[in-house]
Amino acid sequence: MIYAYAQFVPNEKVFPIVQKYVQQYGTSQNEHERAAAVHILGYISDSDACLDPIKENIDALTVFIIARMSDESFNVREAAGETVGRFSEHVNPEFLDKHKQIMPCLLRVIQEL
């Protein structure tokens, strides 16, 4: 539903709302809320949704995702890993330029599996 909303509502209207709640729930005490917040970022990162504002905020979003890859919850770390995959596919070259920050965390998550 959020993806559909992000597809059809102008980015300047929808992204601030999504960003607010991603930040709020991404730091929640509830691990499922944290995982959902990270998943949403991945889902809306394609060109049909909020790709442009994600590119514009890639520095802060990268920091956010890296923090979730170090989360105490496996579900949150897994969600962050999936979002890294979606960002790698869609947010080019901005996200791929962050590989020195992302790869150590991603490798640590993979090794835990």
Give the Cα separation of 71 and 76 in Å (integer).
6
Q: Output the pLDDT for position 106.
A: 86
Residues (pLDDT < 50) of the chain are none
Query: Which residue from 44, 21, 49 is spatially nearest to 34, judged by alpha carbons?
Result: 21
HSE at residue 83, side-chain half, CA atoms within 13 A, is 32
Gap between the Cα atoms of 11 and 23, Å rounded: 17
**pTM score, two decimals?**
0.91
Structural domain boundaries enclosing 63: 2-112
Domain count, the chain: 1
- The CATH number covering residue 29 comes to 1.25.40
Those residues with Cβ within 8 angstroms of residue 94's Cβ, 6 or more apart along the chain or in another chain: 55, 58
Return the pLDDT at 48.
Answer: 95
